Amino acid sequence: MSRLAAKSPVLAAGTPTALSSLPGIGPRVAEKLAARGLLSVPDLWLHLPLRYEDRTRLTPIRELVAGQSAQVEGVVEAVERGFRYRPMLRVAIADDSQQTLVLRFIHFRNTQVAQFQPGTRVRAFGQVRFGNNGPEMVHPSYRVLAAQAEPTLSDQLDPVYSVIDGIGATALARWIAEALRLLPPAEKLELLPAEVLTRLRLPSLRDALLLVHRPPPDADTAALAQGVHPAQRRLALEELLAHHLSLRRQRVALQRLGAQPVMPAKRLPQALRESLPFALTGAQQRVLSEVVADLARPQPMLRLVQGDVGSGKTVVAALAALHALEAGRQVALMAPTELLAEQHLNTLRDWLQPLGVHVAWLAGKVTGKARQQVVASIADGSAQLVVGTHALMQEHVVFADLALCIIDEQHRFGVHQRLALRDKGREGSRVPHQLVMTATPIPRTLAMTAYADLDISVIDELPPGRSPVQTVAISGERRAEVIERIRVACAHGRQAYWVCTLIDDSDEVIAQAAQSTYEQLCLQLPELRIGLVHGRLKASQKQALMAAFKAGELHLLVATTVIEVGVDVPNASLMLIDNAERLGLAQLHQLRGRVGRGAAASSCVLLYQPPLSALARERIAVMRATTDGFAIAEKDLQLRGPGELLGTRQTGLAQFRLADLARDADLLPEVHRLADAMLADSPALADRLVARWVGSAERFAGA
């Protein structure tokens, strides 16, 4: 639930105060604020600072430190206005110690130039850097001081708020200050039990808001910068609780909708299990039992199945689908890309068509009469299992009797998209069951809070016969050795991937592009058959190349990260990831999962461009140390945070104002205890808390 979607949170009993009550906010300004979800005075209370600037003191120029922000005061000594590559204004000021600082402006007006007359006293604030002529500030904030007056220093840290289009920073800060004057007394604002705040040593909401917006000069600036100040922890606790309550309530609302039970079937699931060349693992059987039990209930299933790369989620989904198909109903399976969707299509047709199941295919490239025929078969019910992409959600696609929606790599879909597919099977107050899957392991602490509205199953066991993947990191300076390793592997009948992070060479990023790498490898390995796959190819070209690689007609596949998911070639035993330092842990782990899918010993080579940053070095160390997707996910959560890990901009999950699921994980047990107590004893307080932080955005939490 993004902050953009939040509507009019209520912070105290009564109607929210209109923004128009603040001086200077007319209809046009109110419209711009509303575009950022700021609809009332209480919304401004929760528009929290991104950081702070310390204007409570002056720093002598000789004490300035590169990379740090500081406030200085000095007299203009010289002004230089020039144009080399672009217009530039340079103003040299000196303080009482006769040290000089240059204020540099790339964008400026003539009126600004006129302000900087030699002898004028100026106070400036900005980040310090050191150039050829000593310390300088680029585009500092500044003001010209009167000659005789003794200007005072600020008595508090200055908050810096996120930019809003068409709204000046000064005006926004002024309106927030005006809004804070309207804060009611603490007892009218407080919704959390006093004993909880006392036990956790946290301030009241009123005190927390005032401190976060107006930190005094003696505030712990290091704690504020890290988001761990008691005032910030107080707000984070309430925000986490509000989002958790919202998801829990949404789950209850979803259960009230009801669903048509799908009773356990025998013939088709048993026939598939007998035809498979492998037996289900214990973890697969456990998760399948949980799904089948959900399907048999008169409430809609909303279950997330997590499974590491290669754990066998697809066969669990296929067996679940057969229970609905044997009952004469329909199933839809939606994947985010045509490549992944077509992989599912081929697998499911291989498994299910011998059992007499009609598996239909609907994607963007299905056009003309073929599309009309597929859409007609979905509408009359003869298409029993429909596999596709976003095309399944189009308005003209109508299902005869949709019982189960299966969504793969669910974090890649937006909330509205999942709602749109679910509503294809809505009949009155009943909706289809939903099974969502992800190969991106989600840490338990994150899942318990971000997915509080879902039941979660974990396939935590890999099928037997999978070979462990050995991971090594090699500097790009040893590229020739890696190429020779590929030559040897392919000579022994194995296949290999070479993954690049760009399609074309870039002057700005030191990375080998897929196109040039393909051309170089063709020259260096002339005896090998090499293919090139990237996102700019037509879907038909990609599919043809992938099919040739899977059939063993290609030795080496050069690709971008388009092969991250959905590619299963058991004979491929070597994965090389070029410029591995540019990728995150989750992506590296997904790519590594493309090998080790057969019995042969497999390797993943992380080819990096030195020197490595500290973060890149840590990521590569984690990849070498473990192949456990959940351990990698925990580390990824620490390094990247929950927003990037879950893709919250696409999922509709919480983009918190202040809370951070990794940093504030120790608050989650308290959040769960408070949620249980509130829902049982004080549902009205729970309503007010959700309205305060989330508003109507909770509508999408159960999608």
Specify the pairing of strand 572-578 against strand 602-608. parallel
Domains 57-153 and 469-626 share a fold: no
DSSP state of 563: G
Three-state SS at 134: strand
Q: Report the CATH superfamily, name and number, of domain 469-626.
A: P-loop containing nucleotide triphosphate hydrolases (3.40.50.300)
Q: What is the pTM of this model?
A: 0.66
Tens-digit pLDDT profile for residues 31-75 = 999 888 888 899 999 999 988 888 888 999 999 999 889 999 999
CATH number for the region 257-459 comes to 3.40.50.300
pLDDT for 444 equals 66
Are 82 and 90 a contacting pair, CB within 8 Å?
yes
Q: Is 202 exposed, middle or buried (0-12, 13-18, 19+ CB in 10 A)?
A: buried
Q: What are phi and psi of 367, to 5 degrees?
A: -130, 175
Question: Would you list the DSSP string of 479-509?
Answer: HHHHHHHHHHHHHTT-EEEEE-SBSS--SSS
pLDDT for 197 equals 94
Tokens linked to 431: 């909706």
Q: Which helix (H) or strand (E) holds 167?
A: none
Tokens linked to 398: 């109508």
Three-state SS at 230: helix
Are 129 and 67 a contacting pair, CB within 8 Å?
yes
Are 49 and 180 a contacting pair, CB within 8 Å?
no
User: 574 CB contacts (<8 Å, ≥6 apart)?
Assistant: 485, 486, 489, 494, 495, 496, 497, 595, 602, 603, 604, 605
Are 378 and 360 a contacting pair, CB within 8 Å?
yes
Are 264 and 323 a contacting pair, CB within 8 Å?
yes
Instruction: Give CA torsion, residues 335, 339, 344, 345, to 10 deg.
Output: 110
Are 596 and 467 a contacting pair, CB within 8 Å?
yes
Question: In Å, how far are 21, 30, 34, 146, 156 from 18, measured between CA atoms?
Answer: 6, 10, 11, 39, 28
| Assigned CATH topology for domain 57-153 | OB fold (Dihydrolipoamide Acetyltransferase, E2P) (2.40.50)
Question: In Å, how far are 162, 243, 562, 567 from 680, measured between CA atoms?
Answer: 37, 17, 48, 47
Extract the residue ranges of the chain whose pLDDT is less than 50.
1-15, 507-508, 510, 643-653, 696-703
DSSP state of 429: T
What stretches of 150-266 show up as alpha helix (H) in DSSP?
Answer: 169-180, 186-189, 194-200, 205-213, 221-226, 230-257
Three-state SS at 275: helix
pLDDT for 517 equals 92
pLDDT for 649 equals 34
The residue ranges of every structural domain in the chain are 57-153, 257-459, 469-626
| CA gap 644, 141 in Å, rounded | 32
Three-state SS at 350: helix
| CA gap 679, 250 in Å, rounded | 13
pLDDT for 522 equals 96
| CA gap 37, 31 in Å, rounded | 10
